[in-house]
Amino acid sequence: MTTSKTTMLGDRPVGRIGFGAMQLAGPGVFGPPRDRDAALAVLRRAVELGVDHIDTSQYYGPDVVNELIREALHPYPEGLRLVTKVGARRDDQGAWLPALRPEELRAGVEDNLRSLGVERMDLVNLRLLPEAGTGVPLAEQLGALEDLRHEGKLDLIGLSNVDVAVVEEALGLVDVAGVQNGYSILDRSAEDVLELCEERGLAFVPFFPLGSAFTGGPARLAADPAIAQVAARRGATPSQVALAWLLHRSERIALIPGTSSVGHLEENLAALDVVLDDEDLATLAAVEPVGDPLGAVPHGD
């Protein structure tokens, strides 16, 4: 059973596997990388291999990851989509704090434009923090992004870390291009959000596509007998099988696996060539998911 090589991000096709740049920052997504040259090499190799969308945020570092992207790739190749998220900020110790007031969202977009060296973002995700309790109405948050869109500072608006009710409310307020939620073969708590995206023609971009490190992540993939069985049958790694499962799960899914290793980057992109048949998918149906409750993951998805 083959899968398409592209999906839609708004009205534009993108490759099914992009690159999530969060891991290029230092420990805790804070401060400089352990190996700056390696981080730059990963970004350049990603583009060499055809990656056409990179997911980032100014609050990764902060500034660190965006500045790495700019150093590695600017002037950016034609057709490369740069996707960011706003809605959080970091304090001096690296803690994640909400930044969801309209003026904070505007500042977040401007900071991304500055640090990436661009005049317009291809997509900006509103990253909600349900546990923060800021009390800012969704209409005001999305209104700030819509104003920026009309000013030409962003092209598409997306949502991140949201439930079905929020997606439905947002769809009544602005054009929404996609949703970025935690989802993997190990965490299917956002299944209803994925189904809504399929119904409404929205992109669905899982963060932690290999499972959160806080619930076992890649190590748990390798330990699962069903995943190991399919990996052995296909001559693939457990991580490649998990990514291939997502590609088969829905044509609306675009993946942004992250890594700071060129070897892992190449392994992740090779998941596009892993073909799963009905027997494989039936075997993988036995994987027991362990979902993360919405909002229980670090804010730097």
Q: What angle do CA 50, 54, 7 make, to 5 degrees?
A: 65
Q: Give CA 206 to chain center in angstroms.
A: 6
Mind listing the pLDDT tens digit for each residue in 86-112?
999 999 999 999 999 999 999 999 999
Structure tokens at 40: 């730059």
pLDDT digits (tens, 9 = 90+) for 221-258: 999 999 999 999 999 999 999 999 999 999 999 999 99
Q: CB neighbours of 10 closer than 8 A, spacing ≥ 6?
A: 123, 155, 156, 177, 178, 203
- Show me where the domains of the chain are located: 14-212
- pLDDT recorded at residue 129: 75
Q: Strand, helix or coil at 99?
A: coil
Provide, rounded to the nearest whole percent, the portion of the chain with pLDDT above 90.
89
pLDDT of the residue at 295: 44
Tell me the average pLDDT across 182-202. Answer: 96
Q: Annotated catalytic, 183?
A: no
pLDDT at 285: 95
Question: Cα separations (Å) of 24 from 1, 88, 172, 251?
Answer: 34, 18, 36, 28
CA 149 to chain CA centroid, nearest Å: 21
- The answer to whether the pTM exceeds 0.85 is yes
**Whole-number pLDDT of residue 134:** 63
Write the CATH number of the domain with boundaries 14-212. 3.20.20.100
Separation between Cα atoms, residue 260 and residue 248, nearest integer Å: 26
Question: Which is the catalytic residue, given 59, 60, 76, 183?
Answer: 60
Percent of the chain with pLDDT over 70: 94
